[in-house]
């Protein structure tokens, strides 16, 4: 597969994603005040194409671990992809950004986001399908209602120019997706928005969907950084850290058992270090753990079991 031509749809999407990575990394570095992102440029293994930029941060004043990754990858549709992912084509192309930030302070929420674009080609090299997917979601360990409202309202406002029905639809899809079903439909966090396989019917619709993706990507820092600033200096102790690590364990369970992005990366021979960058630095798995009745942790557990409307 040839590199995208300057000015083409693919080229403009790649340009946007790489610029967004720069802006988000700068904003997160400034918020942290000490840690800086380190970049690891990588190429896919022989027999496949493309590569990416993995940027990671650790041991900061605010962020204990985090990463903001971009990839521009392509290759042949393998038998494993046909079987596991249901792809019917000969070659494929994908470009996107994926990020996860794990804070040190349990009162600062973990955040995840990704925005991606995919193309599928036939044997003659003709485009047979293309689609967008993505979203962002928040995983607090303790509830501050104003933070939840702010995060969701920012997403709602980013989507509003493209139709009032989109935010409630994609908010519900997020609530339905980021769930550990093996734990009684327990949510990973308080959600956000999630959408997948948005297929444009023509070039005009493709441009509209690119604008939709850009609006969501551009809203990320505005939705997250004010929450970081409000909570980063709140005092906490061992009990709060213990609860944070219990919930981080649930985060790991979802990412390894259910997350489509993780599975896609592994089934397309993606770079393991970049795929598993999303996992938190420290976690707890305690047998039959239950928060103390009447505690803040027990109240949070109820929210994970019963999704709420925030705006």
Measure the CA–CA gap between 77 and 53, rounded to whole angstroms. Answer: 23
Residue whose pair of structure tokens reads 């590199």 in the numeric block: 3
4-11 long-range CB contacts below 8 Å, 24 or more apart?
9/203, 9/206, 9/210, 10/93, 10/95, 10/117, 10/119
- The helix (run of H) or strand (run of E) holding residue 263 is helix 260-267
Q: Which tokens is 161 given?
A: 């120019």
**267 a catalytic residue:** no
Cβ of 145: how many Cβ atoms within 10 Å?
10
Measure the CA–CA gap between 133 and 115, rounded to whole angstroms. Answer: 6
Q: Cβ(81)–Cβ(222) under 8 Å?
A: no
Residue ranges with strand state E in 179-280: 179-180, 186-187, 191-198
Q: Cβ(106)–Cβ(300) under 8 Å?
A: no
- The helix (run of H) or strand (run of E) holding residue 7 is none
Q: In the 8-state DSSP scheme, what is residue 132? A: E
Q: Cβ(65)–Cβ(58) under 8 Å?
A: yes
* Residue of 102, 112, 150, 152 marked active site: 112
Give the residue among 273, 234, 255, 262 at the shortest CA–CA distance from 189.
255
What are φ and ψ of residue 76, in 5° steps? -85, 145
As annotated, the active-site residues are: 112
């Amino acid at each position: 597969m040839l590199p995208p031509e300057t000015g083409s749809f693919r080229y403009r999407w790649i340009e946007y994603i790489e610029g967004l990575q720069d802006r988000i990394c700068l904003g997160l570095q400034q918020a942290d005040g000490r840690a800086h992102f380190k970049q690891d440029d990588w190429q896919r293994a022989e027999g496949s194409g493309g590569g990416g930029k993995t940027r990671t941060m650790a041991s900061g004043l605010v962020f204990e671990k985090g990463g903001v990754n971009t990839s521009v990858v392509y290759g042949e549709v393998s038998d494993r992809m046909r079987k596991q992912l249901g792809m019917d084509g000969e070659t494929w192309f994908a470009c996107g950004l994926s990020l996860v930030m794990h804070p040190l302070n349990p009162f600062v929420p973990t955040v995840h986001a990704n925005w991606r674009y995919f193309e599928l080609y036939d044997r003659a090299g003709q485009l047979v399908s293309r689609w967008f997917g993505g979203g962002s979601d928040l995983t607090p360990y303790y509830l501050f209602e104003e933070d939840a409202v702010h995060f969701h309202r920012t997403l709602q406002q980013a989507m509003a120019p493209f139709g009032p029905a989109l935010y409630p639809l994609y908010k519900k899809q997020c609530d339905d997706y980021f769930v550990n079903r093996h734990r009684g439909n327990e949510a990973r966090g308080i959600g956000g928005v999630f959408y997948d396989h948005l297929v444009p019917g023509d070039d005009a619709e493709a441009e509209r969907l690119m604008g939709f993706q850009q609006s969501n990507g551009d809203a990320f820092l505005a939705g997250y950084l004010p929450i970081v600033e409000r909570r980063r200096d709140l005092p906490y102790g061992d009990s709060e850290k213990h609860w944070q690590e219990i919930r981080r364990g649930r985060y790991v369970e979802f990412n390894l058992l259910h997350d489509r992005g993780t599975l896609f990366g592994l089934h397309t021979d993606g770079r393991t270090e970049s795929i598993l960058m999303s996992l938190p630095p420290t976690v707890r798995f305690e047998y039959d753990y239950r928060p103390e009745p009447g505690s803040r942790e027990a109240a949070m557990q109820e929210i994970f079991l019963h999704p709420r409307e925030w705006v």
